[in-house]
Structure 1
Amino acid sequence: MNTSKLPSIAKLGPFIALLLACVFFATQNERFLTLQNFSLIMQQVMVVGVIAIGQTLIILTAGIDLSCGMVMALGGIVMTKLSADFGLPTPVAIACGMAVTMLFGLINGLLVTRIKLPPFIVTLGTLNIAFAITQLYSQSQTVTDIPAGMTFLGNTFTIGNTSMGYGVVLMLALYVATWLWLRETAPGRHIYAVGNSPEATRLTGIATDRVLLGVYVLAGLFYGIASLLSVARTGAGDPNAGQTENLDAITAVVLGGTSLFGGRGMLLGTLVGALIVGVFRNGLTLMGVSSVYQVLVTGILVILAVTTDQMSRKGVR
């Protein structure tokens, strides 16, 4: 067996898994294989999909961010409360919400780079901090009196007989732009280098701490955009949002083929990973399967993806 081919198989794996899942569910329910259903799946995954962009950048540096979901929820509460309670213009309120999510990214990055704390511990702590601030600031109440401009991305437009969400278009544009940035620019390549070997990267003259700090702040920006998409999709600022999005985002990244050990992965694979999760949940729902089993299947997929990652790493060695 030629193990040198394993990394290529690992890259193709997410696309093959998505295709097989679509074929299986198409045989189980005739409604699955419709453009309208695929549009629905895209709208269902757009929030997690954008969070997963930031999560991918962090995991590429061999880090992890457990706080992403709750930081996203806090950003949504900030922007809706400032708009509803203080009457701030929509663009200003949105900018303030994104500034808060980026501030949390900055805090995470400083604790990782300056104090050298493990990303897992740092983001576990900021997860709880973001949750507490969200509940206190919102008084555990949903914010519903928000302007139409803040829900625009939740609207749809029609292509033929299929409705497509503006938020989905934004998500796809962010994936393409970030993928090109990672692939074609020096800062993007530095992220891969730091994930592969921080010490070797430092010896080449690259400021690894600056790269890591920038990654966490940039991830915070994506969480802020996800905040806006969440508000647009639900039409409200929900203090109880974001409680599973962190695990969903990590699942999407892992299923997409990005190595948890850093330095290897393709951003577009993360989009495929998010779609795999969305397809399984949508397909199982159409089959009438309980949500508990949907979580079970997701867990199995994650274990299989990590196992494939481990095997490919051994193949490289």
Structure 2
Amino acid sequence: MTTSSTDSASTSVPAASSTTPGPASLPDFDDHRTASPRIRIQQLLHANPTLGPLAVLVLAIVAFTFSNPRFFSAPNLSLVLAQVTVIAVLALGQTLIILTAGIDLSVGAIAVFSSILMASLAVKAGLPGPAALATGLILGTAMGALNGFLVTRIKLPPFIVTLGTLTIFFSLNSVVSNSETIRGADMPALLTWTGTAIPIGTFRLTYGSIIMLLLFALVLFALRNTAWGRHVYATGDDAEAARLAGIRTGRVLLSVYTAAGALYAIGAWILIGRLASASPNVGTDYNLDSITAVVLGGASLFGGRGGVLGTLIGALIVGVFRNGLQLAGVEVVWQGFAIGLLVLVAVSLDQWIRKVRT
């Protein structure tokens, strides 16, 4: 009798599990949803954030080439790359901060102030070119570190911190420069070297653009192949979970803002070469342009998702659209309208992608 009841009990479990709906039925539902084209596209874009921006860039290049054959000429493409270089470097620093779910509104202020400091130290203080450049880079890095200190130690929101330092740095910029532009001809050759172009046929590649590409390669390697890069993503994805996992999120955030400041300072050096001068009156659009490039590149403003390749593509999209619309005879105000519309579409797409079923 005991054996019979045991056998009966043992055979009843599979029978119940085979007739009772439970978790085993869920994969069929997920597979059905995954089979739909909309879900497949959503999952593809979630897994490869750069695909969407890359498609937009290619379509924009094709469209503007058809509208005006001059667009795809080597001299014009050289101009687009030169115009994008400064914004791309600033957007690279902005990317690091946005990956941690922060925002930096002081991008343009740090870059312009650093350029003024480099030029003033060389021209007014009489420092040699290397010393003026090194000091400017250090001070620019310190400005980024100040933002990081206020965010991590004083616990102020990144938006408020960088809004405040935006005003402070632009004010100091006016004081140091006396609102006067310093000509490149008066500076040591090292400060304007980044604007020197290397002719490749009819295409002209500046040293500033080469530096920009090297910086992207360096940051890409750091984010993909180092513990620091993994900690940056983890902090942006869920800071509390990262802290509980043993990651020192405060140190990560401080290092990110400091690295961003260093990138902004290098962008300032490239800016001097680009303009062949140091002007306190430039950079008013750099903050929005850098954020635009990051958003168009597929990075999430909520942190934890995105990459530097997308940011480079996003910066190119901004440059291509502005140049292409200008060649098409579109007024500046409508160029801004088009860029703003792209940003809204990109943010809406990001919200949709974040709802993907995994």
User: 1:192 and 2:233 equivalent?
Assistant: yes
Match of 2:289 among 248, 251, 263: 248
Residues 102-111 or 247-256, more deviating: 102-111
Whether contact under 8 Å (1:141, 1:238) holds in the other structure is: yes
Partner Cα distance (1:99, 1:283) in 2: 37
Structure 2, unaligned stretches of length 5 or more? 1-35
SS of equivalent residue, structure 1 residue 163: strand
Partner Cα distance (2:108, 2:171) in 1: 13
Distance 1:99 1:164, change over 3 A: same
Match in the other structure for 1:278? 319
Match in the other structure for 1:239? 280
Match of 1:77 among 84, 109, 116: 116
Match in the other structure for 1:179? 220
Structure 1, unaligned stretches of length 5 or more? none
User: 1:47 and 2:86 equivalent?
Assistant: yes
Give the CA deviation at 1:160.
2.3
TM-score between both structures, scaled by the size of structure 2:
0.87
Partner Cα distance (1:233, 1:126) in 2: 25
Give the CA deviation at 1:179.
0.5
Partner Cα distance (1:265, 1:25) in 2: 27
Match in the other structure for 2:354? 313
Whether contact under 8 Å (1:66, 1:123) holds in the other structure is: yes
State the identity %.
51
Q: Which amino acid aligns with 1:16?
A: A
Query: Which residues of 2 match residues 74-153 of structure 1 at below 5 A?
Result: 74-144=113-183, 145-153=186-194
Q: CA-to-partner distance for each residue in 1:145-197, whole Å, 9 max, x for gaps?
A: 21222111101011123211111111111111110111011111110010011
Whether contact under 8 Å (1:72, 1:223) holds in the other structure is: yes
Match in the other structure for 1:214? 255
Whether contact under 8 Å (1:43, 1:165) holds in the other structure is: yes
Match in the other structure for 1:63? 102
Q: CA RMSD in A?
A: 1.1
Distance 1:181 1:238, change over 3 A: same
Give the CA deviation at 1:292.
0.7
Q: CA-to-partner distance for each residue in 1:255-310, whole Å, 9 max, x for gaps?
A: 00000000000111000000000000000111111111111001000000000100
Residues 7-16 or 232-241, more deviating: 7-16
Q: Which amino acid aligns with 1:155?
A: T
User: 1:289 and 2:312 equivalent?
Assistant: no
Match of 1:35 among 43, 61, 74: 74
Partner Cα distance (1:102, 1:161) in 2: 37
Q: Which amino acid aligns with 2:263?
A: F
Q: CA-to-partner distance for each residue in 1:55-74, whole Å, 9 max, x for gaps?
A: 00000000000001011000
Give the CA deviation at 1:316.
4.4
Moved over 6 A (4+): none
Partner Cα distance (2:281, 2:142) in 1: 21
Whether contact under 8 Å (1:70, 1:241) holds in the other structure is: no
SS of equivalent residue, structure 1 residue 157: strand
TM-score between both structures, scaled by the size of structure 1:
0.98
User: 1:18 and 2:34 equivalent?
Assistant: no
Greater relative contact order structure (CA < 8 Å, 6+ sep): 1
